[in-house]
Amino acid sequence: MVKDMDHINWYPGHMKKTKDLLRDSLKLIDIVVELLDSRIPRSSKNPDIDTIINNKPKLVLMNKSDLGNEEGNRIWKKHLENENTKVMFVNAHSPKDGARITKEIQSILKDKIEERKAKGIKNVTVRAMIVGIPNVGKSTLINSLSGRKGAKTGNRPGVTKGKQWIKLKGNIELLDTPGILWPKFEDQEVAMNLGFTGAIKDEVLDIETLALRLIERLISIDSAVLEDRYGIEISEGQSPLGVMDTIALARGAVARNKEIDYTRVANMVLDEFRKGVLGRITLELPERE
């Protein structure tokens, strides 16, 4: 998948600074809002976050919930929710979900708000910090929550930089932080999942191999996803490369010399998966405990 897995600069300097920023900002905020990708909740969760935030109240937002399948969403909610953590499935583009999120933040902090009112503080403002890996949809969500178009968005990791406070409805101030990955991917499946969903820049990946691995994963989950989309039949025991060739032929991804244009078919499969054109797909489920 990756050109050289051991030498990719997964942890550039700005991500270390972000980690320090998170620690320094904790004393300023009342709640942490963690954004995950509902297709890959485990892989899109930075394992450093829980250690950094310690026992702060937390709201987990499973973004792109319309791209993960319903059963997968239900299983993950049950797995992640606990006394100090609430879980909501959202679509960052939805203003209706934005209203639900602000209401849930107020609900989680109800006791703290009442406590401050009892001290004579009027118009109590609560502060939240939003965290998440690159390209998980933070900027889009912030735009939806704030009703503005100020936060830069894009389908590429690394758009948000620096430290920003954004005022939301309901007397909530939200601290945005740059997306943060972690120093090293020892779990190859995590790295693959992040590549599939675009959390790692395509430029540092071997796109053709990445698409091949995605096809392999989709066959193992439900081969009908590929059969229905591309109008093909996948025979028992057919290799992922054979399926990739079949898709290419079905979609005319063939060069002038009649050889398969693997770059073209790879980009097509990855793009259609990321946009949800292939359907609602959850790539991973919690490990059985």
Per-residue pLDDT of the chain (289 residues; tens, 9 = 90+): 434 444 344 455 555 666 777 788 888 899 999 999 999 999 998 877 888 888 889 999 999 999 999 999 999 999 998 877 899 999 988 888 988 999 999 999 999 999 999 999 988 999 999 988 888 888 889 888 887 665 444 444 444 445 678 888 888 999 887 776 655 566 788 889 999 999 888 888 899 999 999 999 999 999 999 999 999 999 999 999 999 999 999 999 998 888 999 999 999 999 999 999 999 999 999 975 4
Tell whether 138 is in a known binding site. Answer: yes
Number of domains comprising the chain: 2
Which pLDDT score is estimated for 252?
94
The verdict on residue 195 lying in a domain is no
The verdict on residue 42 lying in a domain is yes
Residue 162, Ramachandran bin (φ over 0: left; ψ between -120 and 50: alpha; else beta): left
Q: Which helix (H) or strand (E) holds 34?
A: strand 31-37
Q: Are residues 168 and 52 in the same domain?
A: yes
Tell whether 169 is in a known binding site. Answer: no
Q: Are residues 77 and 212 in the same domain?
A: no
Which pLDDT score is estimated for 151?
47
Tell whether 225 is in a known binding site. Answer: no
CA 167 to chain centre: 23
The verdict on residue 225 lying in a domain is yes
Which pLDDT score is estimated for 185?
61
Tell whether 176 is in a known binding site. Answer: no
Q: Are residues 168 and 28 in the same domain?
A: yes
Give the domain CATH number at 170: 3.40.50.300
Which pLDDT score is estimated for 124?
92
Q: Are residues 131 and 46 in the same domain?
A: yes
Tell whether 137 is in a known binding site. Answer: yes
Q: Are residues 93 and 223 in the same domain?
A: no
Which pLDDT score is estimated for 186?
66
The verdict on residue 71 lying in a domain is yes
Q: Are residues 164 and 212 in the same domain?
A: no
Tell whether 66 is in a known binding site. Answer: yes
Q: Are residues 23 and 88 in the same domain?
A: yes
Q: Are residues 153 and 262 in the same domain?
A: no
Which residue range is the domain that position 256 belongs to? 206-274
Q: Are residues 25 and 119 in the same domain?
A: yes
The verdict on residue 287 lying in a domain is no
Rounded Cα–Cα distance for residues 157 and 178 (Å): 10
Q: Are residues 125 and 38 in the same domain?
A: yes
Q: Are residues 168 and 220 in the same domain?
A: no
Helices (DSSP H) in 26-136: which residue ranges? 48-53, 70-80, 95-108, 110-118
The verdict on residue 64 lying in a domain is yes
CB 172 within 8 A of CB 180: no
Give the orientation angle of helix 240-250 with respect to helix 207-222, to 10 degrees. Answer: 100
Rounded Cα–Cα distance for residues 151 and 166 (Å): 10
Tell whether 139 is in a known binding site. Answer: yes
The verdict on residue 197 lying in a domain is no
Which pLDDT score is estimated for 8?
40
CA distances from 77 to 71, 88, 106, 109 (A): 10, 8, 20, 20
Q: Which of 127, 158, 176 is the last residue of a domain?
A: 176
Q: Are residues 245 and 149 in the same domain?
A: no
The verdict on residue 193 lying in a domain is no
Q: Which of 176, 193, 214 is the last residue of a domain?
A: 176
Which pLDDT score is estimated for 30?
95
